[in-house]
């Protein structure tokens, strides 16, 4: 068989599989998901073969359908939900570009949560974060460094706490007296919380970040100092808000 005959054969077989799946959907809309999963896998395999012959086919929507059947098929079986495997999902999306991988994994995670598979959804979320971080490193640039911080800090509450502690550490160091006058970009008006210099400095930094005491103030001595103060406050507020906004958005997506 030459390439043209092979392509014609594959197209014919694809149409047959699509018709069989359509019939199954019509006859059994709420069950027989294991058979539907088998059929959609056939469709994906045939399309992938056609793509290898430079035919214009996409398996993106078929992969989504495959994920839905996979979840439902697992529920039809008399076994624990933990048998849903992320390895199966990873194998299905390995040929996709990173952005599409992330989109497909997010779709899978939302449907896992909708169907009560919270544990495997949590594992899927970790995988999504890992892929997003990979994307940041791939694309590089200052914007992607900011994205990386945003993604990493919103993975879990612990990641948020660690990010805030690191930010607090850098802020504490930045607010220490400059060794040279020419380096004094900012000036801090401190309150006396302790006779110990370092404890007092830490207390003033905490008060400054969280506005605990109106007496603790910071001002820029030049344009660089003003930008540094503004940038620091924006980062601190953004880190906290970003975490809670993402949590709210995820819950809304799951409900919809």
Q: Within a 13 Å sphere around the CA of 176, how many CA atoms are in the beta-carbon half?
A: 11
Do the Cβ atoms of 175 and 205 come closer than 8 Å?
yes
- Identify whether 165 is part of a domain: yes
Same domain, 132 and 7: yes
**pTM score:** 0.70
pLDDT reported for residue 66: 93
Written as one string, the DSSP assignment of 163-225 is HHHHHHHHHHHHTSPPSSGGG--EEEE---S-SSHHHHHHHHHHHHHHT--TT-EEEESSHHH
Q: What pLDDT, on the 0 to 100 scale, is given for residue 180?
A: 44
Amino acid 116: pLDDT: 84
Are both 77 and 119 inside the same structural domain?
A: yes
Average pLDDT, the chain: 80
Q: What is the pLDDT of residue 220?
A: 61
Domain annotation covers residue 144: no
Beta bridge partners of 189: 217
Higher-confidence residue of 180 and 10: namely 10
Contact 230, 236 (CB under 8 A): no
Structure confidence at residue 188 (pLDDT): 66
Q: Is residue 237 part of a domain?
A: yes
Residue where one domain finishes, among candidates 89, 105, 139: 139
pLDDT, tens digit (0-9, with 9 covering 90-100), for 72-91: 988 877 544 447 888 889 99
The predicted-structure confidence for 6-59, as pLDDT tens digits, reads as follows 888 888 999 999 999 999 888 888 888 889 999 999 999 999 999 988 888 899
Q: What is the pLDDT of residue 216?
A: 63
Residues 132 and 215 in one domain: no
pLDDT of residue 214 exceeding 90: no
**Mean pLDDT throughout 120-132?**
88
Sole residue written with tokens 């059929």: 39
Average pLDDT over residues 219-225: 63
In this predicted structure, what is the pLDDT of residue 53? 84
Domain boundaries, position 201: 152-255
Give the total number of structural domains in the chain.
Answer: 2
Distance, CA of 230 to CA of 102 (rounded, Å): 33
Assess whether 50 and 112 both reside in one domain: yes
Q: Which residues pair with 219 in a beta bridge?
A: 187
Same domain, yes or no: 9 and 128: yes
In this structure, the number of other CB atoms found within 10 A of the CB of residue 61 comes to 8
Q: Is residue 52 part of a domain?
A: yes
pLDDT class of 122 with cuts at 50, 70, 90: confident
> Is there a domain that residue 146 lies in?
no
Q: Are residues 135 and 17 in the same domain?
A: yes
């Amino acid at each position: 068989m030459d390439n043209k005959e092979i392509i014609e054969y594959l197209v014919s077989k694809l149409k047959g599989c699509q018709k069989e799946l359509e019939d199954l959907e019509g006859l059994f809309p709420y069950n027989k998901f294991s058979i539907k999963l088998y059929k959609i896998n056939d469709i994906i395999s045939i399309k992938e073969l056609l793509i290898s012959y430079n035919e214009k086919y996409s398996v993106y929507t078929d992969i989504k359908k495959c994920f839905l059947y996979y979840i439902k098929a697992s529920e039809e079986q008399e076994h624990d939900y933990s048998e849903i495997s992320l390895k199966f999902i990873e194998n299905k999306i390995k040929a996709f570009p990173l952005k599409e991988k992330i989109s497909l994994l997010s779709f899978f995670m939302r449907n896992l949560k909708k169907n009560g598979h919270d544990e495997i959804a949590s594992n899927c979320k970790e995988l999504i974060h890992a892929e997003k971080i990979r994307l940041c490193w791939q694309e590089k640039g200052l914007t992607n460094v900011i994205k990386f911080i945003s993604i990493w800090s919103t993975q879990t509450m612990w990641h948020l706490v660690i990010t805030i502690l690191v930010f607090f550490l850098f802020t504490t160091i930045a607010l220490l007296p400059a060794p040279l006058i020419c380096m004094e970009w900012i000036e801090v008006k401190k309150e006396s919380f302790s006779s110990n210099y370092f404890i007092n400095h830490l207390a003033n930094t905490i008060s400054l970040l969280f506005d605990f005491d109106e007496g603790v103030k910071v001002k820029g001595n030049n344009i660089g100092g003003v930008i540094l103060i503004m940038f620091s406050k924006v980062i601190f507020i953004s880190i906290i808000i970003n975490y809670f906004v993402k949590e709210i958005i995820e819950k809304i997506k799951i409900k919809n």
